Copies of this chain bind each other. A is one copy, B any other.
Amino acid sequence: MKRISKEDLDGWNDDRKRARFINCLSGIKSCFLIGTCNASKQTNLAIFSSIFHLGANPSLMGLIVRPNVSSRHTFENIKLMGFYSLNLLPYQNHQQGHQTSARYSLEQSEFLETGFSEEWTEDGPVPFVKESQVKWLMKYIRTVDIPENGTHMVIGEVQCVYLPDDLIESDGSLTISQTDPALVTGLDCYHQVRKGIRYSYAKPGKDLTKI
């Protein structure tokens, strides 16, 4: 076992090395493409792995937006239009997904530049990703600023979900792994996941059963 202290981390001269280390530490995460646009329907697509569950009633999710120029396009569009789409990134499109993290200019759409197809519905004013099998519209609720490092937590509410018919179990669970989603460690290492095993609700003193 190696021990790396806060002082060791602070002593690393290379900021990107520390960023890679800490980004990897938070584990292997699902990749989402966030689809947005501005009032002129200039579209933007960006890969995020910091999407998390906040609650099911109301159905809220959080998203961390970093204080850098690239993701600002997404953040500005979310606040401007009040809506954004979350699209699970298929593993077969993971290289294109990674490419959306390049710093394209405001006038360039990552849809066009990286080869994803825009999909528009009547549910909201923002584009979905046609290649994604599981996607939904989010309504912007509010932002929580994190003054410690200038990041922002964006809170949104799930509006309308599109997904394959056979993905929903009768109890509401989704067999997401069946769509072969892309997972990421840190900012650049992409993975596939194996089929999962479900277990019964845990109770003290009772053996778990597979369901």
Contact = CB atoms under 8 A, between A and B. Distances in A.
If over half of A's interface residues share one DSSP class (helix, strand or loop), that class is named, otherwise mixed; here it is: mixed
Given A98-B208, A191-B195, A194-B192, A158 B113 contact: no
A177 interface: yes
Contact of A2 (B23, B56, B165, B198): B165
Interface stretch (A36-44, A73-81, A148-156): A148-156
Nearest to A105: B204
Contact of A25 (B19, B134, B185): B134
A148 B62 CA distance: 12
A64 B153 CA distance: 12
Interface in A1-41: 1-6, 9, 12, 14-30, 32
A51 B17 CA distance: 21
| Count of chain copies | 2
A25 B174 CA distance: 7
On chain A, which size bracket covers the interface? 35 or more
B53 A26 contact: yes
B171 A20 contact: yes
A157 B3 CA distance: 16
A160 B4 contact: yes
Residue among A102, A165, A172 with the highest chain B CB neighbour number at 10 A: A172
Given A98-B199, A188-B199, 6 more contacts: A2-B165, A3-B162, A29-B29, A60-B149, A103-B204, A177-B189
Interface of A: 1-6, 9, 12, 14-30, 32, 50-62, 64, 66, 88, 95, 98-105, 108, 113, 123, 134, 136, 141, 144, 146, 148-149, 151, 153, 155, 157-165, 167-168, 171-177, 181, 183-186, 188-204, 206, 208, 211
List 3 tightest A-B contacts by C-beta distance, closest first.
A27-B30, A17-B172, A24-B174
24 contacts: A1-B163, A2-B167, A4-B162, A15-B57, A16-B171, A18-B57, A19-B56, A21-B173, A22-B158, A25-B61, A25-B136, A25-B174, A28-B176, A28-B181, A55-B148, A100-B202, A102-B202, A102-B206, A105-B204, A175-B189, A177-B185, A177-B189, A184-B196, A190-B197
